[in-house]
Structure 1
Amino acid sequence: MSSLGMALLNSLDIGLLLFVIAVGLNIIFGVLNIINFAHGALYMLGAYLAYSCVILLGMPFWLTLLVAPLGVAVLAIAIDRLMLRFIYEREISDSLLLTFSLLLIINESVRLIWGTGIHVIDPPTLLQGTVTLPGGITYPLYSLFVVTVGLLILFGLWYLFNRTRVGKIMRAAALDREMAQVLCIDTKLVITGVFAFGAWLAAVGGVVAAPMRAIDPGMGDKIIIESFIVVVIGGLGSFPGALLGAVILGLMYGLGGRFFPEVNLILPFIGMAIVLLLKPHGLMGKGASA
């Protein structure tokens, strides 16, 4: 029983971290109608900025959790104003090519600045060690912190989209940009803000993941694949779909790693293929019920 409980906790840990990252990708697509291939590179950049803040500058982890994502969001604003704004009205293939180019640029920039080696940072002192949960399960404190961050962002996003004026403006811009302009909504500001917000979410995921995973130039490539699996399973552009897809992928990794380690690496791709065959728009995507 404790083995199953540990696997489920690991699934929740992985799933909520993937949700934090993939939901930014989904929000950007839902409002801007672009598929951001550079999203994983922004996640990686958040982890590298966390390394620089904690190890090179001696900044406390808690302050780093605020500063590093803001730095990535500022970069995202510059990217939007200098590059992306020229392709918003074009075919989606143009955004794929441009963001893929950004992915390569950011990857090579990271190698030039931080090198090709592997970097690590330790969890903050307060979150080191383990805690004993009901059922006799011993679980790392930092993993519980990751779960807490994921839940806070989940409920924060729900409140943003359903209870605030800013969230309603974002939803209006996603549904009908021209009508939003007629209603005197500054859609250019909304678009820039949404792209920066999505990048901020990716960077938060990078900072939170940094003490758990090795920081290396390839970490963004792996996470963008996992993020696309999440949005394909859940449905591109669907906020609930991002949560459902992340939970399903987390269960595949957590339970698969515990009980089916020999096929764990291919389980997500098998799951994605099954969903695409049965629900081409994803489980909760537009047209999923058709």
Structure 2
Amino acid sequence: MSGGTLLVQVLSGLSLAAILFIVSSGMTLVFGTMRVINMTHGSFYMFGAYLLAITFDKFDQHLVGFVGAFLLSALVVLVLGIIIEFVVLRRLYKGEHLLQLLATWALMLIFEQLALDVWGSATVTPPSPASLSGTMTLGAASIPVFYVFLILFAALIFVALWIFNNRMGIGRLLRAAVEDHELLSTIGVNVRRLYTVAFAVGAFLAALGGALIAPEISVGPGIDLSILVESFVVAVVGGLGNINGAVIGAIIIGLAQSFGATYIPNMAEASIYFVMVVVLIVRPRGLFGREEF
């Protein structure tokens, strides 16, 4: 393999990793704070992609319009996440975790049917901004500009999450809730409000990932389940509840998908599960997982 081809493969894997990180970081944030495995996470991703396809037509179809469209799409889904947490999950926190799992699974099925009723079974692919189309030359490699954009944007999201978790009061409270939410409630902190914030941020990140990747995929039925499985694998490999783990897990799974699709195309989909099994054999809690997870 030439150096240029290798670079393209690596960047392709990292662009996949960028989306997987953005989506799985939302899942791992919700689990770490609330101990809820949110099955509607894939639905939020799907709605983000569909809403981008709708809203981008209303904006100036350049980079600024694209940024405005995907942020608006993610904010709409954030509101949906708040409603779901308030109406459904808030009534189940004191119940068995299985009830929460079943409730979010039922919502996922409802949202999947809703998407079919509203948008139909045909797939759509919204256009990408002209400034993100085409390729750029790096050495002997010709690299899609959109790959670079995704990688840089995911890095920006990581920095924003780090600042949110370590420099903002609400982020510190969320980290405290991960450690001991019962103790936090005894000192007067509204833990349920923290849960609402965590779930809303998780929904926002899932929708953001869907909106960002929409111009590069066929948006249609089934993308919710596929991203749900992939983001869960990333979260498990990295360690459920750990944002740093989501970064490393996403990179590992993204590269496994990229190289697997090239060298073992018949086993490409299975390659990510093979990686997960190997990691869990060596470290059952994931690479950065804490013992309680």
Query: Structure 1-normalised TM-score?
Result: 0.95
Q: Following the alignment from structure 2 to structure 1, what is the Cα–Cα distance between the partners of residues 9 and 167?
A: 35
Give the drift of 1:203. 0.5
Counterpart of 2:52 in structure 1 is 50
Asked if the contact 2:52–2:73 (Cα under 8 Å) also holds between the matched residues in 1, the reply is yes
Distance in 2 (CA, whole Å) between partners of 1:160 and 1:264 is 35
Aligned with 1:139: secondary structure? strand
Distance 1:105 1:147 in 2: 33
* 2:123 aligned residue: 118
Inter-partner Cα distance in structure 1 for 2:94 and 2:162: 28
Residue of structure 1 equivalent to 2:12? 10
1:90-116 per-residue CA deviation (whole Å, 9 max, x = no partner) reads: 221111101100110110000011111
Aligned to 2:216, what secondary structure does the other structure show?
coil
Report the AA paired with residue 117 of structure 2.
L
Give unmatched runs, 5+ long, in structure 2.
none
Match of 2:92 in 1: 87
Name 1:157's counterpart in structure 2: 161
1:64-109 alpha-carbon deviations (Å, 9 max, x no partner)? 1221000000011111111010111222111110110011011000
Which residue does the alignment assign to 1:37?
A: 39
Between the aligned partners of 1:123 and 1:92, the Cα distance in structure 2 is 41
The one-letter amino acid of 2:216's match is M
Residue 164 of structure 2 aligns to a residue whose secondary structure is helix
Superposed CA RMSD in Å reads 1.5
SS at structure 1 position matched to 2:240? coil
Residue aligning to 2:246: 242
Which is further off, 121-130 or 256-265?
256-265
Aligned partner (choices 74, 77, 93) of residue 79 of structure 2: 74
- Name which of structure 1's ranges 181-190 and 96-105 shifts more when overlaid on structure 2: 181-190
Query: What pairs up with 1:137-156 in 2 under 5 angstroms?
Result: 137-156=141-160
1:213 deviates by 0.7
**Structure 1 residue 277, shift from structure 2 partner:** 2.4
- AA partner of residue 16 (structure 1): A
Q: Percent of aligned pairs with the same residue? A: 35
Q: Please give the per-residue CA displacement for 1:249-270, whole angstroms capped at 9, x wherever unaligned.
A: 0110122223333322211111
* Cα distance in 2, alignment partners of residues 94 and 278 from structure 1: 31
Taking the aligned partners of 1:286 and 1:188, their CA distance within structure 2 comes to: 23
1:128 Cα shift?
A: 1.6
SS in 2 for 1:265: helix
Stretch moving more, 171-180 or 19-28: 171-180
Change (3 A) 1:128 1:204: same
The residue that corresponds to 2:223 in the other structure is 219
Paired position in structure 1 for 2:255: 251
Residues 171-214 of structure 1 deviation map (CA, whole Å, 9 limit, x = unaligned): 11221112212222221211111100000000000110100111
Task: Give secondary structure in 2 for the equivalent of 1:210.
Answer: helix
Indicate the larger mover: 205-214 or 159-168: 159-168
Q: 1:98 aligns with which of 70, 78, 103?
A: 103
